Chain A
Amino acid sequence: QQQVKQSPQSLIVQKGGISIINCAYENTAFDYFPWYQQFPGKGPALLIAIRPDVSEKKEGRFTISFNKSAKQFSLHIMDSQPGDSATYFCAASGSNYQLIWGAGTKLIIKP
């Protein structure tokens, strides 16, 4: 019940295209859902986060869509650029402040 399942494991998108990464959770007590971006040799960097009282949040080219009834959330990267090539992680936490992470998606943007 503590798992966060992330898909796909890897993704190749053409420059200018839309990258979509999906996550699903089971624990209905989770109430905070961040997305992190990690480059090789670096720590994860917070991209965008959402709470379950909203269905969508947009920051620049990054959008989180949240479906509470389906217990799913997704990251959309619009106009994907080669600099977006990185590993993306979804995560979730509840009242105990522990972040539970997905397994990651390696995104490659082809020029």
Chain B
Amino acid sequence: DAGVTQSPTHLIKTRGQQVTLRCSPKSGHDTVSWYQQALGQGPQFIFQYYEEEERQRGNFPDRFSGHQFPNYSSELNVNALLLGDSALYLCASSLRQGRNQPQHFGDGTRLSIL
């Protein structure tokens, strides 16, 4: 039973570029959430996707956008990259049905901005 998988594992970009990160949820899960984790800090919620729509959004600018596909996989897109976007980007999947179902995390994509 595959868990949450993310790709790529590492990525290096320069300021102003655009990046797309990908996530496949755990088998049977229908909801995907994205988090940004800066070095030495706790994850910060970016947004959550369910039924191919953004359902919740944290305090992130609209340079951060996403998409969910019919197979529940998801992409995170970041435009006009800034140095401060350097972080570990985590994807978590869960079941929407029922309140506060456990979120299962992938190992993340380490994004470095030069």
Contact = CB atoms under 8 A, between A and B. Distances in A.
Interface string B97-108: 001101111111
Interface stretch (A11-19, A56-64, A72-80, A97-105): A97-105
Contacts of A100: 45
A32 B99 CA distance: 9
Category for how many chain B residues contact A = 20 to 34
B48 interface: yes
Given A99-B43, A103-B41, A104-B41, A44 B56 contact: no
A96 interface: yes
With a 10 A CB-CB cut-off, give which of B33, B103, B107, B108 has the most chain A CB atoms.
Answer: B103
Contact of A99 (B4, B40, B99, B103): B103
Residue in A32, A42, A51, A98 whose Cβ sees the most chain B Cβ within 10 Å? A98
A49 B108 contact: no
Nearest to B3: A43
Contact of B105 (A32, A43, A93, A102): A43
A41 B107 contact: yes
Given A41-B107, A43-B4, A44-B105, A101 B100 contact: no
Nearest to A39: B107
